Homo-oligomer: A and B are copies of this chain.
Amino acid sequence: MAVYTEVTDEALAAFLEEYPIGGLVAFRGIAEGVENSNFQLRTTTGDFILTLYEKRVDPADLPWFLGLMEHLAAHGITCPRPVAGRDGQALRTLCRRPAAITTFLPGVWPRVVRTEHCAPLGNALARFHLAGAGYAPTRHNALDPSGWPPLMERCRPDANSVAPGLAAELDAAQTRILAAWPHDLPRGHIHADLFPDNVFFLDGKVSGLIDFYFAATDLLAYDLAVCLNAWCFEPDFEFNVTRARAMCRAYEAVRPLSPAERDALPVLCQGAALRFALTRLYDWIHTPPGALVTRKDPMEYVHRLRFHLQAGSPGAYGL
């Protein structure tokens, strides 16, 4: 669930006074999302989302995230647009947490992915990559390959209790992936977490991208690899190459991959699978039972990782 902080009506009323968006009409917690507290907010002028940034988000990164969203929205990407207060500032404080109001986006995220979702997604991802080009500030991706070994260190003592032999399997995968990782591919701003619950659809088209709080400056094709992981596996972890082909073709119709990017796709997919396996494993080990957050099974990404490790070439992805 996604409400960690409850906002009193008095605090909310005082907070809204700082914005030129009218009076409060309704305020409900949103179930989706695991990092921050999100509320659907209605005022006399329209609908908005109020986000309170919880401890997983570094407050120092928030101006970069909000600036990116503002830039993307101004360049044709339907994403939440930060709403400035009367003083021109979008980033404020509520209940002792950084907080921001953003615009409301229509659409529905797909609870079950179908092939028809994958081309619109590939198209939207490529447009996002092109639109991000004019946003000058950069942000290091804390979960790029340099971030995996320290995470692995903190998981290793308990990894085998999750699955026998898991520590050695992940160690071997990490060594192999780090050795093959490309460093000279085109870079730009990536979403880095474009899972189905972060993509709204309406009438078969992408109506919005949300949740930019893992966004960073990194290899553009890595973002596609994240999406291949998140959108193209069946529930039994069989890879659906039809979806992958639809996604990649639609991506390339907007932003063609270079030969080096294509060649790197298998290792980028391996890296993306390892990244999510490691963060889920970390959370699995370190989240106390009974915590408010539902732990996600790290093995879902170990299965994906195994597929990518045996996928020898870009052909495995329909390219």
A2, A7, A24, A29 pick with most chain B CB within 10 angstroms: A29
A106 B25 Cβ-Cβ under 8 A: yes
* Alpha-carbon distance between A262 and B80 when the two chains are bound, in angstroms: 54
Distance in angstroms between the alpha carbons of A10 and B201 in the assembled complex: 12
Q: Indicate whether A86 reaches chain B with its CB closer than 8 angstroms.
A: no
Do B24 and A3 touch (CB < 8 A)?
no
Asked if B110 contacts A8 (CB within 8 A), the reply is yes
Q: Which residue in chain B gives the minimum CB-CB distance to A23? A: B203
CB atoms of A40 and B25 under 8 A apart:
no
Q: Are A28 and B9 in contact (CB under 8 A)?
A: no
- Which chain B positions have C-beta within 8 A of A111? 6-9
Within residues 170 to 201 of chain A, which ones have a CB less than 8 A from any CB in chain B?
Answer: 200-201
A290 adjacent to chain B (CB < 8 Å) = yes
Interface assignment of A112: CB less than 8 Å from any CB of chain B: yes
Give CA–CA (A108, B30) in the complex, Å: 14
A292 interface residue per 8 A CB criterion: yes
Question: CB distance A290 to B292 under 8 Å?
Answer: no
When each residue 95-109 of chain A gets 1 if its CB lies under 8 Å from chain B and 0 otherwise, what string results?
000000000111110
In angstroms, Cα B28 to Cα A100, docked, is 19
Q: Are A31 and B106 in contact (CB under 8 A)?
A: no
Known: A110-B8, A110-B9, A111-B6. A28 touches B24 (CB 8 A): no
Number of copies: 2
Residue of chain B at shortest CB distance from A105: B26
**Residue among B9, B12, B202, B295 making CB contact with A25, cutoff 8 Å:** B202
Nearest-neighbour CB distance to chain B for A295, whole angstroms, equals 8
Say yes or no for A17: interface residue by CB 8 A criterion. Answer: no
Whether B2 lies near A31 (C-beta < 8 A) is yes
Asked if A32 is at the interface (CB within 8 A of a chain B CB), the reply is yes
Mark A184-225 against chain B: 1 for CB-CB distance below 8 A, else 0: 000000000000000011100000000000000000000000
Tell me whether B29 and A32 are in contact (CB under 8 A).
yes
| Closest CB pairs A-B (n = 8) | A1-B1, A29-B31, A6-B111, A289-B290, A289-B289, A27-B108, A3-B31, A8-B112
> A residues touching B (Cβ–Cβ < 8 Å)?
1-3, 6-10, 12, 24-32, 40, 42, 104-108, 110-112, 114, 200-202, 289-292, 294-295
Query: Can you list 15 A-B pairs with a CB-CB distance of less than 8 A?
Result: A1-B2, A6-B111, A7-B111, A24-B108, A24-B202, A25-B106, A25-B107, A26-B107, A28-B31, A28-B40, A29-B30, A31-B31, A42-B106, A290-B290, A290-B291
Sample of 15 further A-B pairs with CB below 8 A, known A8-B110, A26-B106, A30-B30: A1-B1, A3-B31, A3-B32, A6-B112, A7-B111, A8-B112, A9-B108, A9-B112, A24-B202, A26-B104, A26-B200, A28-B31, A29-B30, A29-B31, A29-B32
